[in-house]
Every structure is written in C-alpha cells, then in structure tokens.
Structure 1
Amino acid sequence: MMSQRFLVKPFSFCALVASTLTMSATVQADTLSWGDADTDLGKLTVSGWLRANYQDKDYSDSDHKLKFNAAKLSLKYDAKSLFGDVEYRCYQNDTLCDFSTLVNANLGYKLNDDSRITMGLQDMPFGIGRFWSSSWYGSSMDNAGLEDVHNLGINWQQQLGTNTKVNVAYFVRDGGSFAGTGDDAARYAANYVKPEDASTDDIEEKNMWVARINQQIPLQDSPVKLNVGGSYWYSDLENNRNGQTGHRNAWNVFGRLNYQNANLTLTAGQNRADTQAVENPDYATVGSFESKYHVANKANYYVANLDYQMTDFYKDYDLTPYVSYTVFDKEKSGFATSTRNILGAQLDVKQFSLAAEYITGKNDVFIGGDAGSLAQGDAAGHSRLLNLLFMYNF
C-alpha cells in the first residue's frame, strides 16, 4: 500500500559504500561510469562521498571530537529515452549507520529534447532549486519542510524556448520514513509526522500540486546573468485526530544573479497551513533526521545566499567562501521570529574537500533550540556552532 513504511538494512549500504571506496582507490572519480548516454542501453554513473566532522557548540559539551558523520551513494542513469536517479545516505549518531535513508529513487522518460517526465521519489520543484543555500548545514527552511523536500510523485518539466523552464508536478504523499531509532521521524526530508503528545493533532499531507517557472533574463553584451522565477504549492492536510481536511498554500519568488565567479541567490515566500486543528491550530508536528518538533502553520520566510568560486586558488586547490541568512517570521502574535546565519568556506583538492562553517541561530531547533523553536520560540537566545567537515569524494 502507498502508506506502508519503507524498511532498509543499514549494513548492506555500508558494505556497498566500502566496496565502492575500494574500487575508487584505483581509478579517478570521473571514471566511475559505464556505457554511453547516446545509446538505448545508456550510461550508469556512480558517485558519492564519505564524511567526518568536528563540532564545537556553545550550548553543549558533548561533541568535541572528530568522528564519522555520514556517507552518500548516488547512482545516475542516462540513455536516449530513459533516465533515473537513486540517492541513499547513512548517518552516524551513536553507531555506524544507525540512521539510514533513501533520498531519491526515480525513473524518467524523455518525451523530446525539451520535455521530460519523472516518476518516483524525488525532490519537489519548489523554490529556485533543491538547495537554497551553499551551506552543508542548510538553511532553517530545510527543517521547516519547505526546502529540499523529497516526496513520491510525478514531475513534468518543459523547456519553452531558450530562456524559460516550467515544472508541473503532483505528489501523492510524503517520502516515508526509513531505518533508525526516530520512529516516523527517521527521514531525510522534513514532513508532517505523528506527534509524541497525544493532545497534538496528527497531520498527514497528501495530493500535493506544485508548479514552478524559471526565467532567464537575457542581458546582451553583459557579463551579468540573471534568473528569476516563482513557485506555488497546494496540498491536502488530513487531520487524523478529528477526520477533517485542511490545506496548505505556499509560494515563493526567487532570483539568482551571477557575475563572473560570484553568485547571489534571494528567496522570499509565504507558507499558510490550515490543519483543521482545534486545540493547536497555530502549529503542527514535523520530523526529520530522527527529531520531532513544532513548526508554525503561518509564516513568511526569506533566504539570502552569496558565494564566490575561486578555481585554482592555490595550485590545484579550489576555494569557495559563502554566507547565508535565513528568516522565518511567524504570523501568530507572540511567536518569536527564527533566524539562522552561516559564514563558511569550502576547500577542494582532487577527491578531498574541507568545509568550515560558523553558524549562529536564534529560535532554531537544530542550533541550541528545542521542539518549540520554529513555533513559539525558545529561551536560549543566540546559539553558536562551529561545524568542520572532512570529505572524500568518489
């Protein structure tokens, strides 16, 4: 049935990552592919990374050590008519791969050179792209369930001329939960989940319609590239406590300005969720990465991101500094605004990467906050996190 939970075995994934890493030690990262995309048989490409991290928090003393953090395995298939994508990740909280999750699993068909359709578990075409910021930690819109959301559905993409791209998609349900200790919060993308408190309404999102248009603005004889667009999201919100059905209405407008190696991305939008709740109409329970927390049903949000890519910064080293700023401004009187600021840089050489991020958050569920941070707010004030990431890419 469509509502059945996905189950996976972490050990098999770790073994697959280990075998892939062994193979990649003898070949270059860009040679982990087989076949030809211009044929009916197609081309299969394997990629991913292994990641360790070190964190220093002003709100905790438990993370002052370097440890394995996560692994990603990506399989991409491309042929004359068909294409597909599978992305799988495993994370370590206490033990190796104690939380593992499927991110994408889809298959697509190329209707023609300008049109294609994708079916399965995939990221929703909401916002400027899958990611709205350059940070590995992500903006707080990840946690609010608006950015980098992966659900089960069908997505039609059409290129209109040279400068316009349109998406129209229907998602029947959320992406499901996977292997971990967090019950139905054992998932990569933030979705509505069953609350721990029986007095809080259990919301299930279905029948999600999403549309997006992305327009490139031609600027003749100018080194500046400009893209603007907007997206809209409408869905049914089933309240399993009282049998009523509410709706989500969310939208955003966005733009990307590129000048040489500098990229500026701006996103502004609004989320309005009517959950038909009686006792808690102003927030609902959302879950991701084995955590459950409350998110305000009505809010405006803003995300700004700036990065600068310096190729061959020193010999074979590439350096990309970046900064991002997120605001989640709730409509309910008395609900405190949530913010997240990230200052970071990534250094790349061959198959290795190092990223350093200094993050400050206020009323932020994953930066010193609690389950009410993205709803009522919390009493923690500004919290700070230093996040160091060490990656091997294959």
Structure 2
Amino acid sequence: MSKYVYRNMVVGLAIGLCTGLSPAVFASDLSLGDATSNLGQIELSGWLRAKYQDKDYSDSDQQLKFDAAKLTIKYDAKHLFGELEYRCYQSDTLCDLSTLVNANLGYKINAHDRVTVGLQNMPFGVGRSWGSSWYGSSLDNAGLEDVHNLGINYQHQLFDNTHIDLAYFVRDGGHYAGSGGDSARYSANFVRTDETDAPTLKEKNMWLARIKQDIAVTAVPDLKLGVGGSYWYSDLDNKDNGETGHRKAWTVFGQLGYQNANATFSIGQNNVDNKSLITPDYSTVGSFDSVYNVANKGNFYVADLNYQFKNIIDGYHLTPYVTYAIYDKDKSGFATSRRQIWGAQLDVKQLSFAAEYIIGKNDVFIGGNENSLVNGDGNGHSRLLNLLLMYNF
C-alpha cells in the first residue's frame, strides 16, 4: 500500500468520524468503557482547524481555508494506558502532510510509578509546549521543544510534589506522507538532504532526565510555584564520514501561577558536535515538509504569560497570552533569532477562535530563509497575523 493511499484512508476516516457525528454527539463525552476496570476506557477527541493569514514579507492568500485536523485516541485502564495522535496539514491540497505524533502504550506499576513505550513526547523542558501559542516558538523549529521520538520513559512520583522522568529514545520519530521526503514529519529532527553542505545526521541513543518540583505556599493557597530542570545526551551518526558526534543540551524552568494568571520561564543551552569538517557550526533540520539549518551551539530563553478570563459572558472564556523566545548562538557573527507572539483565544462550547500577531527576526518561518537560525537573514523584523477557527470534539 503506498503512503498516499494510506494517507487518504486515514484522512477519510478522520473526516468521516468528524462529519458523521452530530453537534449533539460532539457536545457529549466521546468515550466508551470504564477507566477503573481491567478492560479500560477509550476516549476520542480532536479538532478541525481553518486559518486566515496576512504577512508583510510575502504574498498572502487573504482567505479563510482549511489548515489542519487532529485526531487523538486515548486508552486508560486499571493497569494499562496509551495514546494515538494523528495530524494532517494542508499546504496546497487537503492533508498533503499527514503524520503520526504519538503512538504509545504504558503500564502503571503502582500509584507512583509508570512506564511508557513507543512514539511519545520527550521529557525535555517544562512540558510538551513551552508556551500558550498555537504557532509555537522558534525553539520548536530548532528541534528542542515539542519533540516526539521512539523510546521508553519511566516516570516516578517522589513524595507528593516531586516528579521524575528517566528516558531512553532509540531513534527519531521518522518521516511520514508529505512532499518533503525526510522532512515530512511533525517534530523537528536532523534529516537527510542534498540541499545543503551540512552532513546527514542520524540521532540515536538519546538519554534524558527531568525533575519537576511543585512548591506549596500554605500562606497563599492560590499561589502555585514550580521549578525543574532536564538534560539531554545523544549520539549523532555522521553519515558522510562515519564518525559519531554528540548532543548535550540542558534547560531549567520555573512556573508561577496565581488564580487565573500563569507565567512560565525557561533557559537552557544546546550543544551539538556534528563531527563535520565542512560545516562544524551548523546542522540540517527538517519538519513540516521544510528543510533548514540550525546553529549547533547556542543559549535559549523562553517566557510565556497568560491570563484566563472565565465566563466573561455565560459560556464564553477568553485567554490572552504573550510568548517571547530567543535563540542566541555562540559563534561570533551568527545573529540572534527572536520570535514574539501576542495572542488571545476565545472559547465557547465546541468552538475556539484564536488571533495571533507574530513578530520574527532571523526567523526561518517568519520572513526568513534556510539560514535564519544560523547566521541570520538580514531582513529585520517580519510580521504575521495568524487567525484560527477551530471545531473541537
């Protein structure tokens, strides 16, 4: 079966599930079974998303069109759990990028320990996403945030407020159906390409550790504090010369919440040795059918603020947010990459509307080019208005 036939079958199934159910069914819980039983419970969720974009750096479609679809199936039982997440995106035609995001199964050892095997989010950073925006930060594009690879993760709850992850990932999450070859994937990974001078790298043997500590402030019960850190070490096979390099990355983070206000701060460092004599300062990364280069060494900073206005009108919830991300490269002459996102999301029943004003500088996806995350692009600040309409189920 060709990947295109497979893609069309999965897309048809997802759309059929979504369009074949009435709004009354969407409004209810799409689940079957009992999560406390041995047999367990299956829960279906997802969204359909349309977008309107206006750019100051290129021609804009200036029309509302289908953007993406997400389908998630979660399984939860007395001892087992699992998740399957599939997404498709439209660039030119319906679901011309179709990819798995998660496909894993886990076992609950006891109330404090569990293990997950399969395609899953890597425990690096404060969580899967480090900000509130839909577009994501530039660290997402650099392959440090929201990365899903193939491996095993052991989770342990030490005391009531301490959570530990110890993980090993054998390889990246692979590529799927799209026009970009090895870059037809959701997560940003090192990819094969003939478009740059950088070597083809294969990341493997990824060892990760993360600790998250919640801090209780009994005098102020509405105040929530959390701190943590994570470390990532891996082997990088240089397919051009047969040598093995390494990645060493770390991040520390903090979370602050008071009633409906939330803040998250992350700082860290990425250090990649690709064992290349030709391009020792950068490597080639791919995601969403795009191929681009990323500086091997740099420090990164991410700050995110949001506030939830609940029931501003009966059933209407509004969440404004701002995210600011920086990738500051070590090499002299490599310009710093920045992305700031000012946004707000309105939720009412099964509908969500998000508006994001994005400003990028030396940003590969906001007015930049394939070297924006290396030496920069010299284009100054570029701006994107990103409007999203979502139907959730």
**TM-score category of the 2 structures, normalised to the smaller one:** over 0.9
Whether the 8 Å CA contact 1:8–1:178 is kept in 2: the answer is no
Match of 1:308 in 2: 307
C-alpha displacement of 1:27: 1.2
Deviation digits for residues 105-140 of structure 1, max 9, x if unmatched? Answer: 000000001100000000000000000000000010
Match of 2:247 in 1: 248
Match of 2:280 in 1: 281
C-alpha displacement of 1:24: 4.7
Q: Are positions 1:9 and 2:6 aligned together? A: yes
Deviation digits for residues 326-354 of structure 1, max 9, x if unmatched? Answer: 00000011000000000000000000000
Q: What's the TM-score, normalizing by structure 2?
A: 0.97
Match of 1:107 in 2: 105
Matches within 5 A, 1:190-201: 190-197=188-195, 199-201=197-199
C-alpha displacement of 1:198: 6.2
Q: Are positions 1:358 and 2:357 aligned together? A: yes
Match of 1:84 in 2: 82
Deviation digits for residues 332-377 of structure 1, max 9, x if unmatched? Answer: 1100000000000000000000000000000000000000000111
Whether the 8 Å CA contact 1:235–1:247 is kept in 2: the answer is yes
Task: State how far apart, in whole Å, the 2-side matches of 1:276 and 1:392 are.
Answer: 47
Matches within 5 A, 1:109-148: 109-148=107-146
Which residue identity does 1:10 align to in structure 2?
Answer: R
Which residue identity does 2:73 align to in structure 1?
Answer: L
Q: What's the TM-score, normalizing by structure 1?
A: 0.97
Whether the 8 Å CA contact 1:24–1:32 is kept in 2: the answer is no
Which residue identity does 1:303 align to in structure 2?
Answer: V
Which residue identity does 1:389 align to in structure 2?
Answer: L
Match of 1:382 in 2: 381
Deviation digits for residues 220-252 of structure 1, max 9, x if unmatched? Answer: 121211000000000001100011101000000
Task: State how far apart, in whole Å, the 1-side matches of 2:327 and 2:27 are.
Answer: 39
C-alpha displacement of 1:30: 4.0
Task: State how far apart, in whole Å, the 2-side matches of 1:188 and 1:217 are.
Answer: 34
Task: State how far apart, in whole Å, the 1-side matches of 2:30 and 2:17 are.
Answer: 9
Task: State how far apart, in whole Å, the 2-side matches of 1:330 and 1:80 are.
Answer: 47
Match of 2:259 in 1: 260
Task: State how far apart, in whole Å, the 2-side matches of 1:135 and 1:181 are.
Answer: 26
CA gap 1:7/1:104 in 2 versus in 1, 3 angstroms? farther
Match of 1:75 in 2: 73
CA gap 1:6/1:117 in 2 versus in 1, 3 angstroms? farther
Matches within 5 A, 1:146-157: 146-157=144-155
Select 1:167's aligned residue among 143, 158, 165.
Answer: 165
C-alpha displacement of 1:310: 1.0
Q: How many pairs align?
A: 390
* Structure 2 counterpart SS, 1:31: coil
Whether the 8 Å CA contact 2:196–2:284 is kept in 1: the answer is no
Structure 1 vs Structure 2 CA RMSD:
1.3
C-alpha displacement of 1:63: 2.2
Could you list the runs of 5+ residues in structure 2 that have no partner in the other structure?
none
Whether the 8 Å CA contact 2:198–2:282 is kept in 1: the answer is no
- Greater CA drift, 57-66 or 274-283: 57-66
Whether the 8 Å CA contact 1:7–1:178 is kept in 2: the answer is no
Task: State how far apart, in whole Å, the 1-side matches of 2:93 and 2:130 are.
Answer: 31
Task: State how far apart, in whole Å, the 1-side matches of 2:285 and 2:390 are.
Answer: 29
- Greater CA drift, 209-218 or 16-25: 16-25
* Structure 1 counterpart SS, 2:109: strand
C-alpha displacement of 1:15: 1.6
Whether the 8 Å CA contact 1:29–1:393 is kept in 2: the answer is no
Identity of aligned residues (%): 63
Task: State how far apart, in whole Å, the 2-side matches of 1:78 and 1:243 are.
Answer: 43
Task: State how far apart, in whole Å, the 2-side matches of 1:328 and 1:82 are.
Answer: 39
Deviation digits for residues 285-340 of structure 1, max 9, x if unmatched? Answer: 00000000000000000000000011101221000000010000000110000000
Task: State how far apart, in whole Å, the 1-side matches of 2:166 and 2:61 are.
Answer: 43
* Structure 2 counterpart SS, 1:17: helix
Which residue identity does 2:17 align to in structure 1?
Answer: T
Match of 2:219 in 1: 221
Which residue identity does 1:58 align to in structure 2?
Answer: D
Task: State how far apart, in whole Å, the 2-side matches of 1:320 and 1:272 are.
Answer: 35
C-alpha displacement of 1:8: 7.2
Task: State how far apart, in whole Å, the 1-side matches of 2:195 and 2:100 are.
Answer: 27
Deviation digits for residues 177-196 of structure 1, max 9, x if unmatched? Answer: 00000000000000000122
Whether the 8 Å CA contact 1:317–1:348 is kept in 2: the answer is yes
Q: Are positions 1:371 and 2:370 aligned together? A: yes
C-alpha displacement of 1:62: 3.3
Whether the 8 Å CA contact 2:344–2:354 is kept in 1: the answer is yes
Select 1:186's aligned residue among 184, 187, 198.
Answer: 184
Matches within 5 A, 1:200-219: 200-219=198-217
Whether the 8 Å CA contact 1:152–1:171 is kept in 2: the answer is yes
CA gap 1:51/1:221 in 2 versus in 1, 3 angstroms? same
CA gap 1:8/1:177 in 2 versus in 1, 3 angstroms? farther
Could you list the runs of 5+ residues in structure 1 that have no partner in the other structure?
none
CA gap 1:8/1:206 in 2 versus in 1, 3 angstroms? farther
C-alpha displacement of 1:65: 1.1
Which residue identity does 1:250 align to in structure 2?
Answer: A
